[in-house]
Structure formats: structure tokens, C-alpha cells
A = this chain, B = another copy of it.
Amino acid sequence: MAATETAGSEPALAPACVNAVPRLPPGQAEAWVGFLAAHAQVTRRLDAELNARFDLSLSALEVLARLAWADHGRLRMSTVAETALLSQSRVSRLVDSLEERGLVERASCPSDSRGVYASISDAGRELVGRALEWHWEHVNELFFSSLSAAQVSQLGAAWRAILGHSVTAAPDSSAA
């Protein structure tokens, strides 16, 4: 492991003129790398289990949940995209596949006929109820069970600072 260039008689071992590769100071490195690793670990597990048990991706669950929480169980496509942090095109295709499964339906928007409503069906409500129940259990297990109440509120404060209070956190509660 090249334990430091101990000087002495250096062979022609030209160190390749290594232009120092910048690093983050250790404290920040833990906060940053941990953030990425925790996100990857937790979301991968949630997504895999959700797929296996309900044949839903995390994004599909998020879309269904937003619809279920909305008045009349429907939202315009573009609203879904904004709140679920997805592109319009992604939402369009996601709704295609949910529609094929009978979980949502498209409906025209009377007040503005460029708009299209996505509307959750009874079957969709039933499924998202079961899926979310399971999902929150595992969010608790994978995320919250390791944290104290104080840590949970610290995290909330950190996110508020990072996201200039443009936090799209659903009418009153949370999402997938």
C-alpha cells in the first residue's frame, strides 16, 4: 500500500505527477456519503419488496397515493408530475400501465380541455391501501427504527434548510 513516500532512495518510481485528487473533509464526507448510501440502500430494498409483493414500483405507489389522497380521487397529469417529482412523460406512461391494470382511469377535464385527469378506481384504492400499509411498516423498519425522536426532527429541519421550503409534501402528510 505504498506506505508514504519514505524518501530514502526513490527508484524511478515517478509518482505520475499526481495532481492531487480533491477530497471532502472527513466530517462532511460522512454526512455526504452516508446520505447517498442510505438513500440507495433504503430505496432499493423498498422498491424490490414492493415490486415482489404488489407489482408496483416506488413511483407507481407514489402516483397512486397522491391520487388516493386528492379530492375526488383525481388530479391532472401535470399536477401528479409536480408532486411526485417525475417528468410529464414518465407520468403519462406510468398512468398507461396503471390504467391497463384497472387501477386508474383517464378522464377529460371540463374546465380546460387540454388537461387530462387521472382518477383512481376502487381497485386502485384497495391496492394502494394494502401497499401503503406494508410500505410504511418497512419505512419504519429500514429508516425510523434506527433513529431517536430527536434525530427525526433534526432530519426534518435539515431538509427544510436544504430545500428552500419548496417542499412538496402532500396535502398534509407524506408520500412514498
Contacts and interface: CB of A to CB of B under 8 A. Distances in A.
Interface of A: 1-2, 16-43, 65, 68-69, 71-73, 85, 122, 125-126, 128-129, 132-133, 136, 139, 142-144, 146-147, 149, 151-163, 167-170, 172-176
A35 B155 contact: yes
A52 to B, nearest CB: 18
Nearest to A19: B129
Contacts of A34: 155-156, 158-160, 162-163, 167, 169
B151 A85 contact: no
A137 B147 CA distance: 30
B21 A128 contact: yes
Contact of A146 (B1, B18, B162): B162
A161 B148 CA distance: 10
